[in-house]
A and B are shown apart, each in its own frame.
Chain A
């Protein structure tokens, strides 16, 4: 989809691909909502440890969250550079976004490994199962985003990204920001709110 597409007539004036992306993100919202719901339903329901308070490291994840937020900033810059037909800046900002995303994934890999060593596994308890499933699928989304960004950067080097094809960058940006926002929700719920839960039943009546 990376070639120049002439702007064709649409009933609403909205580009087909942009509309497609918005509706897709709506669909993806429900996907994450269901995973998050699973996590919240099982909050405090694990029969054996480790429990969140034993292993969740809020300060470290705050750093990786900050990195991911910065990547959204880089993404905005990449789109601005594309619209300004500044090829070099476009490529650099795209690569910067991808790099920041990769650092986030690096943090996640380290985190997963640490958790595993501390006894949290998919099969160990419900906390592990719902935690790894939710953050794992989020990580997979970020990884896909990184591949997309790199593909755009390569196209940029071939000179195929410019203000006429800025939509290619914009769509990737929409996706990227969405994945970021989902992370903010996950960070708030899993780390800031539920990250200090101790023992099996943490919520009254839950």
Chain B
């Protein structure tokens, strides 16, 4: 509760997000069961709307983003040779606000007023006359609360990466995962304020009588779409760049050769980060922005496929003539590349605005986003989980079960989402709660629903594998013979990470070190030796982050119930900040 250690915060993030993965997964299950047969009446239209809204909202904001942050937390300080993040207490604050915000969102189930307007909640469906219950207030206010957490976290990682690299780690020696984290964090810091303004305006419309998005009073629902997608498209890269970074670590490790074209991978990441701001209207081709706008956004969107393609070629180039080892993390990384190519191609097909007119709001779009977000993001995350598990715990997950795990998820994922391409092309709209048998969509829907079960079993196998690993043998500090700095220290790493801040010798630092040692006839078999932890000056645990997080969340909670509660929340947050400022960040000691 009071920890500020980045490694423990990483585990908190990981476990929390995994629980939300199960919740979001069960919501998807309800959707798939409802659609498994024509004219089904398992749940009504209203429930169905709630399910797809909460499924997407959960997966985007409470699963993929925090899982990414979990990896940032664990890996970044270790990969750059730092003892913690720049602001350990701020880091804890981010986690607690995220957790409380997510819980606040799920309180909507308790009072049975669940958000039901889709994950992008288009105005003016979201206005009071059309969505009278408090569901959308839960949605917007919880997202505002979680936004605070995301921005605080991103600020922290930007400063950490820019300012806490070990001597010798120049920008062009940083591991690609560190680069992608930096770009993601910058995107986050710039994109979240935009959606924050949209959410504030929505909240004002619903509770304080404004008419930002109400056409009858002159308001413009399209403004919501612009605000949402100016945030929303960079958000897509916030979800995919970290897994791209993870994969860029894993492919070289198991191909036993350095990443092919490192500068191209880095610069294409930067280009994606910049161009990602100039494509948002491709979500709005059918709105009627006019031929000029549609053409411009078609072109920018097709152009952004170029840096993405560059990355894919570099990954394939890395594999080329490599001594490939098919370990579980490698399988997931290869799965990522394969599935992301499919998702990327279908993405390019709706970059073309005339073609998008056919695909808009059909299952083809659903297929696309699941290929990039499940086939892409989640495969990258699974790859990372298997890859860094021995570093996090000092134990290995079972490789055989891991492979079963991979194939179940891989097959399940394709069975579920591939048929959706055809469903979409056959005209099945997304977000319909049922369909009549004569439309001929039943068989493909059956396959998709069966695929879901396979996928679900795959996730259960993953849980089993983690639980089983508790009794597995301990492994060395560097079981994969990996290039990253994090592998040079003990597993699990000591609280202080590095007894001696390392001097970085190049890209793939630890490979260089190991090679040199080998050449000198003294191969490295042991991690950096442990030292007495009290000799190293570390941040002290603190109650203030969780205290302040309670205050911040209550401000939001008050907006949903009694404004007096917001006031109390404000006072608590203020007290938290004062207490925080007066508390030394670390116990005083002599200089280190």
Contacts and interface: CB of A to CB of B under 8 A. Distances in A.
Interface of A: 1-3, 5-6, 10-12, 14, 16, 19-20, 23-24, 26-31, 33-35, 38, 41-42, 45-47, 121-123, 125-126, 128-130, 133, 151
Nearest to B151: A27
Contacts of B411: none
A11 B192 contact: no
B196 interface: yes
SS of B interface (majority): helix
Contacts of B155: 20, 23-24, 27
B162 interface: yes
A129 B212 contact: yes
Given A10-B164, A41-B220, A26 B210 contact: no
Interface in B199-226: 200-201, 204, 208-212, 217-220, 223
B276 to A, nearest CB: 14
A116 to B, nearest CB: 13
B316 interface: no
Contact of A46 (B159, B218, B580): B218
B591 A6 contact: yes
Given A41-B223, A122-B210, A123-B208, A27 B164 contact: no
17 contacts: A6-B591, A11-B163, A11-B169, A16-B159, A20-B87, A27-B151, A29-B193, A31-B194, A31-B197, A34-B193, A38-B197, A38-B212, A38-B227, A45-B220, A129-B204, A129-B211, A151-B578
Given A12-B162, A133-B204, A126 B223 contact: no
A1 B591 CA distance: 19
B163 A14 contact: yes
B212 A126 contact: yes
A131 to B, nearest CB: 11
Given A2-B581, A12-B162, A14-B163, A26 B211 contact: no
Interface residues of B, number: 43
A162 B151 CA distance: 31
B326 to A, nearest CB: 37
B33 interface: no
A3 B217 CA distance: 52
B217 A47 contact: yes
A16 B86 contact: yes
B582 A2 contact: yes
Contacts of B194: 30-31, 34
B584 interface: yes
A23 B191 CA distance: 13
A1 B165 CA distance: 23
Contacts of B490: none
B568 interface: no
Given A19-B162, A34-B197, A126 B211 contact: yes
Interface string B319-350: 00000000000000000000000000000000
Given A6-B591, A41-B220, 11 more contacts: A11-B163, A11-B164, A11-B167, A19-B162, A20-B155, A20-B159, A30-B194, A35-B197, A125-B211, A125-B217, A133-B200
